[in-house]
């Protein structure tokens, strides 16, 4: 992200990201669930570090995103916040937290008070977006596949009428005050059309190459999970390297190779002699 000025606040970070759309610069977004990964993402220059509700399935062992609570999100937001210095910090509104505009504002303000620059909410929730924008909360809408709403993971907006409906909804959300729009699992042509029709940046995940930015799940990028997705490049294979490292540790402990001489501290010869003579006196 172009330097929006240190401590510039959400408004300046938002303007800097929105200017990237005008300049044709792609926005790089990644999910993040913990402090060390936030530090790595800052170092890598990720523009938007996103505490997503996929924390439930990727980190907490839940079977479904819908099990994630506000308290889960707050716990992870606090950890990630400690690692973020310059990037825009985005927090996901969990299932059930935006059922009314008032609830959306109340819950979103909890995230903002903890340092989130903006919040993302799934679905076509125009009134909630309006209420959030009125309170000055930077709001990311999310259309296409919405894991909190759709039970099956399959391509959305596959027909011309469905694509036209999505474009219409995207424009209404923009008019309601959304600052960004996430588009998930839609054909590239539809991602392109929405992107061209909106003035706010679009961020795609499995939405083709032509959105203003891309978002991926960090555990997929690092190859931590065992599932393969067509829309993902595994930039490393942590599930292989991590498992191998753990096997070697267990074997080293069992076979006495760990700890080795370089891992241990020693008494000086003098202290050792004194200790030994003291012990002898005690005996
Ligand atoms: O929870 C999630 O991982 C998301 C994606 C859009 C990245 O919302």
Q: Is 182 in the pocket of ligand 1 (CB under 6 A)?
A: yes
Closest residue by CA, ligand 1 atom 8: 52
* 232 close to 204: Cβ distance less than 8 angstroms: no
Of 90, 145, 215, the one to substitute when testing ligand 1's pocket (max ligand atoms within 8 A of C-beta) is 215
pLDDT of residue 227: 84
How far away, in angstroms, is 236 Cα from ligand 1 center?
A: 20
The whole-number pLDDT of residue 9 equals 53
- Ligand 1 centre to CA of 160 (Å) is 25
Q: Where are the domains of the chain?
A: 9-236, 241-282
Ligand 1 neighbourhood includes 215 CB (under 6 angstroms) = yes
Catalytic residue flag (residue 184): yes
Nearest CA to ligand 1 atom 3: 54
CA distances to 56, 70, 108 from 103, in Å: 21, 12, 8
Tokens for 97? Answer: 């937290």
∠ CA 103-108-113, nearest 5°, is: 130
DSSP assignment of 127-148, as one string? HHHHHHHHTT--EEEEEE--TT
Selecting among 65, 122, 130, 184, the annotated active-site residue is: 184
**Ligand 1 lined by 217 (C-beta under 6 Å):** yes
9-236: CATH class: alpha beta
Distance from the alpha carbon of residue 183 to the mean position of ligand 1, in angstroms: 10
pLDDT value of residue 151 = 86
Return the residue whose CA atom lies nearest to atom 4 of ligand 1: 52
pLDDT at site 280: 61
**Ligand 1 pocket check for 52: Cβ under 6 Å:** yes
How far away, in angstroms, is 281 Cα from ligand 1 center? Answer: 67
pTM for this entry = 0.93
Q: What is the pLDDT of residue 282?
A: 61
Q: Which atom of ligand 1 is nearest to 29's Cα?
A: 7
Which of these, 43, 126, 129, 31, lies nearest to 80 by C-alpha position?
31
What is the tens place of the pLDDT at every residue in 197-224? 999 999 999 999 999 999 999 999 999 9
State the distance from the centre of ligand 1 to the C-alpha of 166, rounded, in angstroms: 18
For residue 270, how far is the Cα from the chain centroid? 55
Q: Provide the residue-wise pLDDT of the chain in tens; the chain has 283 residues.
A: 544 333 345 799 999 999 999 999 999 999 999 999 999 999 999 999 999 999 999 999 999 999 999 999 999 999 999 999 999 999 999 999 999 999 999 999 999 999 999 999 999 999 999 999 999 999 999 999 999 999 889 999 999 999 999 999 999 999 999 999 999 999 999 999 999 999 999 999 999 999 999 999 999 999 998 888 999 999 999 999 999 999 999 999 999 999 999 999 999 999 999 999 987 666 5
191 neighbors 183 (Cβ within 8 angstroms): yes
């Amino acid at each position: 992200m172009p330097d929006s000025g240190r401590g510039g606040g959400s408004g300046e970070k938002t303007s800097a990201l929105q200017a990237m759309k005008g300049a044709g610069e792609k926005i790089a977004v990644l999910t993040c669930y913990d402090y060390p990964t936030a530090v790595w993402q800052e170092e890598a220059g990720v523009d938007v570090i996103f505490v997503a509700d996929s924390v439930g399935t990727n980190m907490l062992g839940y079977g479904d995103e819908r099990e994630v609570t506000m308290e889960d999100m707050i716990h992870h937001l606090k950890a990630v916040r400690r690692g973020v210095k310059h990037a825009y910090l985005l927090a996901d509104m969990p299932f059930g937290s935006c059922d009314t505009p008032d609830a959306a504002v109340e819950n979103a303000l909890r995230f903002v008070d903890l340092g989130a620059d903006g919040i993302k909410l799934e679905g076509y929730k125009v009134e909630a977006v309006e209420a959030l924008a009125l309170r000055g909360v930077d709001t990311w809408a999310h259309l296409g596949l919405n894991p909190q709403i759709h039970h099956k993971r399959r391509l959305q907006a596959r027909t011309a009428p469905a694509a036209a409906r999505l474009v219409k909804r995207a424009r209404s959300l923009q008019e309601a005050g959304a600052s960004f729009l996430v588009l998930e699992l839609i054909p590239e042509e539809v991602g392109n059309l929405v992107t061209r029709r909106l003035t706010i940046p679009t961020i795609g995940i499995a939405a083709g190459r032509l959105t203003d930015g891309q978002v991926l799940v960090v555990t997929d990028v690092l190859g931590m999970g065992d599932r393969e997705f067509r829309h993902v490049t595994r930039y490393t294979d942590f599930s292989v390297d991590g498992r191998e490292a753990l096997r070697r540790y267990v074997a080293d402990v069992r076979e006495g190779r760990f700890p080795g001489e370089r891992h241990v501290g020693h008494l000086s010869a003098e202290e050792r002699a004194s200790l030994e003579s003291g012990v002898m006196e005690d005996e």
